[in-house]
Amino acid sequence: MMQAPGRLIGLGVGPGDPELITVKALRLLRESPVVAYFVAKGKKGNAFGIIEAHLQDAQTLLPLVYPVTTEALPAPLSYEQVISDFYDTAGQQLAAHLDAGRDVAVICEGDPFFYGSYMYLHDRLAERYEAEVVPGVCSMLGGASVLGAPLVYRNQSLSVLSGVLPHDDLKRRLADADAAVIMKLGRNFPKVRQVLKELGLADRALYVERATMANQKIVPLDQVEPMSSPYFSLIIVPGERWQG
């Protein structure tokens, strides 16, 4: 008799505060025989730190170690190719467990489908295996909550933008936005702050590092040290307040 394949489960575990994991994600985490998680070399990883206390001895841990993060690569290597090959290999590792009939929970900081690394495994595996995705509290909502910043009022629209965008693209999209969240800052911070100043939005913009985590830091935008802004930081430009 053929062994039924396991399920692929993408678990959003929230932005950092361990209490922001959902009841459903916690249940599926505990039920999964294999728990996979993305991690940088030599690190434990934020997502793993959120769920570590809930793991059980019988579970198999499968760290998926990024070959690169943000460092420059020597030619002819490209970041896109190296990371694509990594996701191919990670997908094969998961498939081995799934083919053996074991469910695999892939934990993902924030939400799996909102800039989440899980989505690249989902794209590779979901057509071959049963897949379930559990949404999580994403970082921009964690950021809005700790900043006390309502994002959008009434009929306003929200733009979610990557700080990696070129200066002119970022400026054009921000100029058209009622409200915005700018993510992926890090080394892009000086460019983003300059664009906000050019648009007259710097006074409205709010900055937070590692929102909801134990080492969270809220800093006025003009006091942020450009070279110390981490990847896990974001800027919120709230919608204009509506006096309802």
- CA-derived radius of gyration, the chain: 20
Tens-digit pLDDT profile for residues 59-69: 999 999 998 76
Q: What is the pLDDT of residue 38?
A: 95
Q: What is the mean pLDDT of residues 152-173?
A: 96
Tens-digit pLDDT profile for residues 108-136: 999 999 999 999 999 999 999 999 999 99
Q: Where are the domains positioned within the chain?
A: 8-137, 140-237
The third-level CATH classification (topology) of the domain covering 140-237 is 3.30.950
Query: Could you tell me the strand order of the sheet in which 8-12 lies?
Result: 60-65, 34-39, 104-108, 8-12, 131-134
Residue 120: how many CB atoms within 10 A of its CB? 17
Query: Which residues are bridge partners to 217 per DSSP?
Result: 209
| Residue whose entry in the numeric block shows the structure tokens 């039920």 | 31
Q: What is the pLDDT of residue 44?
A: 83
pTM of the predicted protein model? 0.90
Q: For the chain, what is the mean pLDDT? A: 93
Q: What is the mean pLDDT of residues 48-69?
A: 92
β 60-65/34-39 pair status: parallel
CA atoms within 13 Å, Cβ hemisphere of 45: 22
Which top CATH class is 8-137?
A: alpha beta
Tens-digit pLDDT profile for residues 17-37: 999 999 999 999 999 999 999
